[in-house]
Amino acid sequence: MEIPYTVESREDTGLNNVKLGIWLFLASEVMLFGGLFSSYVLLRVGAETWPVGASILSVPIAAFNTVVLIASSVTMVMAWASLKMNDFGKFRLYLGSTVGLAVLFLVVKAYEYSDKFSHDLYPSESTFLAIYFTVTGLHALHIIGGIIVNGYFVGPGSKMWKTAPEQFTNRIEAAGLYWHFVDLVWIFLFPVLYLL
């Protein structure tokens, strides 16, 4: 039994199911991180003192990580574009780079965290550290999710290119939308936590 519009677009909505589905999921993610940003605002407004991010966190390291993540967004969209141009080899290269850059981001993040812990700077120390660790931690979990999904598409999942190329391209587009969203969240997290 075939579910219609899994691959081809429905005429009146102009969408296929996966595209609409991923955007709706991203809408819920906006609200998820929104809850945390709202918490940040309330905690900061209610605090007697609030440290300048740069006094506790390392701006150069996070700036580097920002560049890494933005670059991974570029390689992600290039991976999709390569599929649209029928270049499977380039697709693999770009998506592989996306995964590699994501891993690099996590490695740097792990270094940041361990550096904090080694100075006894735990989430329980202050509400600033609490929100810092929690929101970047949740963001990191989303990066891990993206690594798993993209890794699957570089590896065993890429078989679908031979059997159902259009469906595969749609899936990569959906994975790309998710990945760009993860990048978007960081674009806001970085200045809010580190620079303000």
Partner 1 sequence: MDTVATLDHSHAGHEHKASWWRTYVFSVDHKVIGIQYAITALVFMLFGFILMIMMRWQIAYPGQPIPWVGQFLGDANAPGGIMLPEFYNQLGAMHGTIMVFLGVVPLAVGGFGNYVMPLQIGAPDMAFPRLNMASYWSYFVGGVVMLLSFFAQGGAANSGWTSYAPLSIIATSGQTWWLFGMVFLITSSLLGSVNFIVTIIQLRAPGLTFMRLPFFVWTQLVTAFLLLLAFPPLESAAVLQLMDRLAGTSFFMPSGLVVSGAAVDVSGGGNPLLWQHLFWFLAHPEVYVLILPALGITAEIVANNTRKPLWGYRVMVYSAIFLGFMSFLVWAHHMFLTGMGTAISAFFQTTTMIISIPSVVILSALVISLYGGSLRFTTPMLFALAFLPMFGIGGLTGLPLGLALPDLHLHDTYYVIGHFHYVVAPGTIFALFAGIYYWFPKATGRKMNDLLGKIHFWGTFVCMNGIFFPMLIQGLAGMNRRMYDGAEMYQHTQGVLVWNGTILTFAWVMGLFQLFFIVNFFWSMKKGAKVTSDNPWKATTLEWATPTPPPHGNFVTPPEVHRDPYEYSVPGAVQDFTPQNERR
Partner 2 sequence: MSGTSADEIRKHVKVYVMVFVALMVLTVATVGVSYLALSIPLAILVALIVATIKGSLVARYFMHLVGEKKAVTWSLMLTAVFFCLLMFLPLFATLDHIGQ
Rule CB under 8 A: which residues touch partner 1? 1-6, 10, 13, 15-17, 20-21, 24-25, 27-29, 31-36, 38-39, 42-43, 46-48, 122-127, 130-131, 134, 138
Q: How many whole angstroms separate alpha carbon 173 and alpha carbon 79?
A: 9
Those residues whose C-beta lies under 8 Å from the C-beta of residue 12, and which sit 6 or more positions away, are none
Which of 103, 149, 164, 187 binds partner 2 (CB under 8 A)? It is 187
The CB-of-78 to partner 2 minimum distance in angstroms stands at 6
Q: Measured in whole angstroms, how far is the alpha carbon of residue 73 from the centre of its chain?
A: 9
First-last CA distance in the chain? 55
Which entry of partner 1, partner 2, none binds 160, CB below 5 to 8 A by partner kind?
A: none
Tell me whether residue 10 or residue 159 sits nearer to partner 1 (CB atom).
10
Site string for partner 2, 20-49 (x = CB under 8 A): x--xx--x--xx--xx-xx--xx--xx---
What Rg, from alpha-carbon coordinates, does the chain have? 19
186 burial level (CB within 10 Å; 0-12, 13-18, 19+) = buried
The CB-of-170 to partner 2 minimum distance in angstroms stands at 8
Where is 42: in which H helix or E strand? Answer: helix 17-46
The alpha-helical segments, DSSP class H, found in 47-126 are 53-56, 59-84, 88-118
Which of 6, 47, 51, 70 binds partner 2 (CB under 8 A)? It is 70
Q: Which of 126, 125, 121, 127 is nearest to 43 (CA)?
A: 127
Residue numbers at the binding site for partner 2 (CB under 8 A)? 8-9, 13-15, 19-20, 23-24, 27, 30-31, 34-35, 37-38, 41-42, 45-46, 54, 59, 63, 66-67, 70-71, 73-74, 76-78, 81, 84-86, 166, 173, 176-177, 180-181, 183-184, 187-188, 190-192, 194-196
